Amino acid sequence: EQINKGHYEHYMQKEIHEQPESLTTTMRGRLIRLGSNKSKSVLLGGLKDHLKTIRRSRRIVFIGCGTSYNAALAARPILEELSGVPVTMEIASDLLDREGPIYREDTAVFVSQSGETADTLLALQYALDNGALCVGITNTVGSAIARNTHCGVHINAGAEIGVASTKAYTSQIVVMVMLALAIGGDTLSNKAKREAIIDGLFDLPNKVREVLKLDQEMKDLAKLLIAEQSLLVFGRGYNYATAIEGALKVKEVALMHSEGILAGEMKHGPLALVDENLPIVVIATRDACFSKQQSVIQQLHARRGRLIVMCSKGDTVSVCPNESCRVIEVPQVEDCLQPVINVVPLQLLAYHLTVLRGFNVDQPRNLAKSVTTQ
C-alpha cells in the first residue's frame, strides 16, 4: 500500500498531485497536428463510426452520478457551443425515478469512473430499451458500462483509489471537451475557437502543475476554516460545475456542510444566509460571466459576506472589495478548460480540511468508491 502511495500520505493527495500526468495520459494519441499547415484535430478511435449519428441526434443527454455527473455538467456548455445540439443533464437515479423520456433519436452519454455504478447501469439499460445510441465514458476498461454501450471513450486516468474522485474528474472533463471537438464540425466559423482549445489542451498539464503550487496556501486556508460548520461555493457558466464539485469534495471527505450555488440564483434564497460569519467562496475567473461575478461579489460584500474569491492571475484588485477578502489566484486558460484548473485548489482545500479535522481522507464515513447497489 505504502509503495503505491509513493511519498504521499494518502491516495487522495497522490491523485490530486498526479493530475498533470493523468491528464497527459488521457490526451495521449488523441490530439493531432495535421500536415504542413499544422491544422489541429481530435481523434477518438472508439467513436469514429458513430460521429455522424451523434451529430444528427435530436439531443445529447448526459447521465451519471456524483462527481461524474458534475464533470458532464462542466463540459455541457462547450458541447452545446461546438455541436449546436441541445444537451440535457440527468442524474441517473432521477431519470429512473421519473422514467423520463429517452428517444431513438437521442444520444445518451453515460459518464462513470468505475463503470459499475448501479443507478448509471440501470439508466443505461433503460436508454438501450428506448433505442437511444449509448456512449460510455469510463475509467475502467471492461467495466459493465464500457461493455454494454454501443461505443465510447476510456478516460485513461489510471487507477483511482481514494473514494473521493479527483483525477478522474479532471480527465473526464478533458475527454468530454475532446468529445465536443469531435462532434462539433470543422466549420470556418469555429476554427479559431477549436484551435485555441486544442492549444489549451496541449498546455493544460503545465497549467495544472502551476495551480498545484497553491498547496500550502490551501493548507493555510483550511486552518482558517477548520472549525466552520458550513461553506458556500458560488459559481456560474463553465464554473457552476466547479462550485458543486468543490462543495461535494468538502462535504464528502471533510464532513463539513457545503453547498455549491449557481450565482445567478443568489437572490432567490442563498442571499438570506449571508452574514459576517459564513465563509463563501466565489469563483470569478475571466470568462464571459466575469462582470456578473464582480457584481455578485459587490452584493455579497454589501451584506458583509466573508469572502474568499478565486480569480485569474493578476486580477486581485479587480475582484477584491476590501482587505479582509481572501484571494486565490489561478492561471487563466481557455474558458471551457478553466474548470479543470479551478477545481484543483478546492480539491486541495478539501484534502487539508479533512486531515486537519482528523478524518479518514481515503475512506470517508459511510461512503463507497463504487455504489453497486440501489
- Residues near ligand G6P (CB under 6 A): 65-68, 112-114, 117, 120, 163-165, 367, 369-371
* Residue number, nearest CB to ligand G6P: 66
Q: Distance (Å, rounded) from C-alpha 283 to C-alpha 296?
A: 10
Residue with cell 443568489: 266
Smallest distance, ligand G6P to C-beta of residue 61, A? 16
Report DSSP state, residue 330.
E
CA-CA-CA-CA dihedral for 48, 52, 55, 57, to nearest 10: -110
Q: Distance (Å, rounded) from C-alpha 41 to C-alpha 34?
A: 7
Smallest distance, ligand G6P to C-beta of residue 220, A? 26
Smallest distance, ligand G6P to C-beta of residue 80, A? 22
Question: What does the block give as the cell for 78?
Answer: 462547450
Smallest distance, ligand G6P to C-beta of residue 294, A? 32
Smallest distance, ligand G6P to C-beta of residue 112, A? 3
Question: What does the block give as the cell for 66?
Answer: 456524483
Smallest distance, ligand G6P to C-beta of residue 89, A? 15
| Burial class of residue 5, CB neighbours in 10 A (0-12, 13-18, 19+) | middle
Cα–Cα separations (whole angstroms), residue 159 to 40, 172, 248: 30, 14, 21
Query: How do the residues of the chain divide into helix, strand and coil, expressed in percent and rounded to 5?
Result: 50, 20, 30
Q: Which is nearer to ligand G6P, 74 or 263 (CB)?
A: 74
Asked if 352 and 218 touch (Cβ cutoff 8 Å), the reply is yes
Q: Which is nearer to ligand G6P, 257 or 267 (CB)?
A: 257
Q: List alpha helices for 214-336, DSSP H.
A: 215-225, 240-254, 290-302, 316-319
Q: Which is nearer to ligand G6P, 114 or 342 (CB)?
A: 114
Smallest distance, ligand G6P to C-beta of residue 299, A? 32
Q: Which is nearer to ligand G6P, 109 or 198 (CB)?
A: 109
Residue with cell 493544460: 204
Smallest distance, ligand G6P to C-beta of residue 13, A? 16
> Which residues have C-beta within 8 Å of that of residue 222, sequence separation ≥ 6?
349, 352, 353, 356
Q: Which is nearer to ligand G6P, 288 or 367 (CB)?
A: 367
Q: Which is nearer to ligand G6P, 96 or 297 (CB)?
A: 96
Q: Which is nearer to ligand G6P, 55 or 369 (CB)?
A: 369
Q: Which is nearer to ligand G6P, 200 or 364 (CB)?
A: 364
Cα–Cα separations (whole angstroms), residue 236 to 23, 128, 207: 24, 33, 22
